[in-house]
Amino acid sequence: MTTNYHTSIPTSPAQPANAETVNSPLSELDTELVAQDGRITVLEGDMPVLSGVASEYYDGLGGFSVPSGTGSTNGHIIQDEGVDQTQRVKLNFTGVGVSVVDTPSATEVQINGGGVAASIAFTATDKLLGRSSSGAGAGEEIPLTAAGRALIAALDAKSQRTLLELVDGWLQDTNTWSYSSVDSPTGILSVNADVTALIGKGTKIKYNQSQALTYYWTFDASSAASVGSPTMANIGTPTYAAGKYSNALTLNGSNQALSITDAADLKPTGEFTLGLWYKSAGTGVAQMLFQSYSDNTNANGIHLEVTAANVLTFGVGNNSAADSTTLTGTTVIADGSWHYLVVAYRNNLIQIYVDGVLEVSGYTETPTYAATNYVQIGVRNVAGSNVAATWVNGQIDDLFLINGYALDEGTVNAKYIAATAQGTGSITITKQAIVTAVGVYSGGATLITAYHGTDFTLANSTISSPYYSNEKTPRGFNTSPNKWSVIVTDVQNRIQSSPATTPTYYNWTSIVVPIGAWRVSYRMIVGITATASSLSYYGTLSTSASAESDPEITTFLRNNYPSSASYGMDFVMTHEKVYELRAKSTRYLNIAANTAGAGAISIRGDLGKTIIKAVCAYL
């Protein structure tokens, strides 16, 4: 292809002394043209087959467009990294034959295109060959169509998304997930595909579900609820002034509050969430924020209030003075600033949040409600009369109640950070769970049993954005054992007088252990009164309420007392074992005496809380 366009210096006759100096640049050009010829040959071999349709142009760099600087649509600049910019060769498919033209800025090699098309075009069926994804082996064909290019972009986006998923430990599942059933405390989900190779025991999952509000008050202009239809009545003349969001219920601390006619939805006994924004205008006195409560003989219901110590407290009553529970926080909230206060109740676990952070939690009884129940905002009423020194002095805004679901820590925290009004729509909750069993793929579906911990419950509603992870700690997954435990507590003194000595087991407390692998333990203080100098006692966790079923989790104690005089003694029994259950099982905490002379035997929850705990062993 390349031809020398000058004559070599003859040896005869003798040449002028400067002949070599004149001819040297031409020799260098010869050398460069030969090298360029090799590059052009390689380029021609790499160029796609020409179709004859002038629509796209190959620029030698993987793109298909007319490069700037060609001056026409039928020229192509082929970049050659072996020469400087000013020496770049320009190929024009226009002339006849081959010629070399020197210009001040470049050396042009003009090549006859003949019948060759002036451009490179592709049809919808043309393919572009590229290297395989590994960089070696067979090539891959990518359609050079709009759809093909969209495919390339989608694949690139997917690769980026997959990289992010690998970084945070979660992988999205594109199958359809749906609610199947609930076998408390676990939920069963259905997936319309065989996912048994991806999801197994111990797999973490997360997904989104929406939760509607039961009641919601904006207090923008009145006491009327924006969600729900409660019957409201003023106590005194409450006002509505600028608050956290628009206006807020504003109370004077002496004679202003709201009363609500009692209704079933205002007396939650299962899961519930109560939340509001509060700003104090006074300190050092109790202030009842919300109550659905009475205390005609014993405490019944629930109540949320600020104590005289300016901290938050929440109480639960179940018609027994001994079994009523109050949890109290430590953060001062009567300080003239707005605070976001939320109480969530699930499976007897109360969790109190202040400004999006868990303040205090603890197990309590299931609330009960008296026939006459008082529902009020802004003042305590326990027996039909408003109680002095419990009036709210400040503002309450954006109050809501969900009867049927307890919000989790992540959702509460996100709501606080967002700092926006609750709104009347549903709350989107990202729920997490640990898989404890996976069924076989049958009938077009795989059933997944998952424990949702203390913070989540599977609802009978649409599931979206399902993810799974087989990592130990995927990003955002709370691995605190307290979040993945079933706990039963008792604070009563449970006494059995004159126990039989065969031995005979006595029971007052039990726990339901879900399907899956669990680290089950118990701790109790056992009390005895006796006259015999030597006594034997047993404590166990059993599938029977009146017998031992597993000696490996039985504690045995023998007491040798120096005399047979009447005496009493208290001691701690504790044990632990890992169980893997194919179905949920009730385990009973039993005690027994095995020697005559025991006057009484008891579990002394009043001296130290009796605890039965099952911690998910897949953590």
pLDDT of residue 92: 44
Residue 12 within any structural domain of the chain: no
* Bridge partners for 536 per DSSP: 558
Please check whether residue 524 is in contact with residue 573, taking contact to mean a CB–CB distance below 8 angstroms: yes
Residue 559 within any structural domain of the chain: yes
The DSSP result for 78-130, as a single string, is ---TTS-GGG--EEETTSSSEEEEE-SS-EEEEE--TTS-SSB---TT-EEEE
pLDDT at 30 over 80: no
**526 and 603, same domain (yes or no):** yes
Three-state secondary-structure class, residue 272? strand
**319 and 438, same domain (yes or no):** no
Residue 456 within any structural domain of the chain: yes
pLDDT at 188 over 90: yes
Question: How far is 433 from 413, CA to CA, in rounded Å?
Answer: 19
> Is the bond leading into 13 cis (omega within 30 degrees of zero)?
yes
Domain final position from 479, 494, 516: 479
Neighbours of 44 (CB within 10 A): 11
**CATH number of the domain to which 195 belongs:** 2.40.30
**23 and 100, same domain (yes or no):** yes
What is the band of 273 on the pLDDT scale with cuts at 50, 70, 90?
very high
Mean pLDDT confidence for 418-424: 89
**333 and 373, same domain (yes or no):** yes
pLDDT of residue 83: 38
pLDDT of residue 37: 75
Question: How far is 289 from 274, CA to CA, in rounded Å?
Answer: 11
- Average pLDDT over the chain, rounded to whole? 83
Residue 84 within any structural domain of the chain: yes
Question: How far is 367 from 365, CA to CA, in rounded Å?
Answer: 6
What does the pLDDT look like over 461-512, one tens digit per residue? 999 999 999 999 999 999 999 999 999 999 889 999 989 877 899 999 999 9
63, 68, 72, 78 alpha-carbon torsion, rounded to 10°: -50
**300 and 220, same domain (yes or no):** yes
Nearest to 484 by CA among 528, 517, 516, 451: 451
Residue 317 within any structural domain of the chain: yes
pLDDT at 71 over 50: no
More confident residue, 597 or 155: 597
What is the band of 1 on the pLDDT scale with cuts at 50, 70, 90?
very low
Question: How far is 188 from 517, CA to CA, in rounded Å?
Answer: 17
Name every residue whose Cβ is closer than 8 Å to that of residue 219 and which is 6 or more positions away in sequence: 240, 243, 247, 248, 249, 396, 397, 398, 399
Instruction: Give the domain extent around 68.
Output: 19-111
pLDDT of residue 62: 46
**Token pair of 245, please?**
């969001």
pLDDT at 261 over 70: yes
Residue 120 within any structural domain of the chain: no
**474 and 374, same domain (yes or no):** no
| Opening angle at CA 547, ends 543 and 553, nearest 5 | 65
- Give residue for tokens 């203390």: 454
Three-state secondary-structure class, residue 16? coil
pLDDT of residue 95: 43
**237 and 319, same domain (yes or no):** yes
**131 and 183, same domain (yes or no):** no
What is the band of 218 on the pLDDT scale with cuts at 50, 70, 90?
very high
**CATH number of the domain to which 522 belongs:** 2.60.120.760
State phi, psi for 135 to the nearest 5 degrees: 90, -5
Please check whether residue 168 is in contact with residue 474, taking contact to mean a CB–CB distance below 8 angstroms: yes
- Report which DSSP code applies to 553: G
* Bridge partners for 494 per DSSP: 603
**CATH number of the domain to which 361 belongs:** 2.60.120.200
What does the pLDDT look like over 559-609, one tens digit per residue? 776 666 666 788 899 999 999 999 999 999 999 988 777 888 999 999 999
The total number of structural domains in the chain stands at: 5
Domain final position from 403, 423, 443: 423
More confident residue, 514 or 57: 514
Whole-angstrom CA distances from 409 to 257, 363, 428 are 30, 17, 13
**Token pair of 119, please?**
């451009």
Please check whether residue 482 is in contact with residue 454, taking contact to mean a CB–CB distance below 8 angstroms: yes
Whole-angstrom CA distances from 123 to 46, 128, 143, 145, 587 are 19, 11, 10, 8, 72
> What stretches of 126-221 show up as alpha helix (H) in DSSP?
146-168
Name every residue whose Cβ is closer than 8 Å to that of residue 11 and which is 6 or more positions away in sequence: none
Neighbours of 33 (CB within 10 A): 19
pLDDT of residue 296: 79
**356 and 464, same domain (yes or no):** no
What does the pLDDT look like over 72-131, one tens digit per residue? 344 343 333 343 434 344 444 444 455 666 666 665 655 554 444 444 455 555 555 554
Residue 256 within any structural domain of the chain: yes
**419 and 432, same domain (yes or no):** no
Mean pLDDT confidence for 335-343: 97
Name the residue type at position 268.
P
| Opening angle at CA 515, ends 510 and 516, nearest 5 | 115
pLDDT of residue 111: 52
**224 and 325, same domain (yes or no):** yes
- Report which DSSP code applies to 180: E
**55 and 40, same domain (yes or no):** yes
Mean pLDDT confidence for 544-552: 96
Residue 158 within any structural domain of the chain: yes
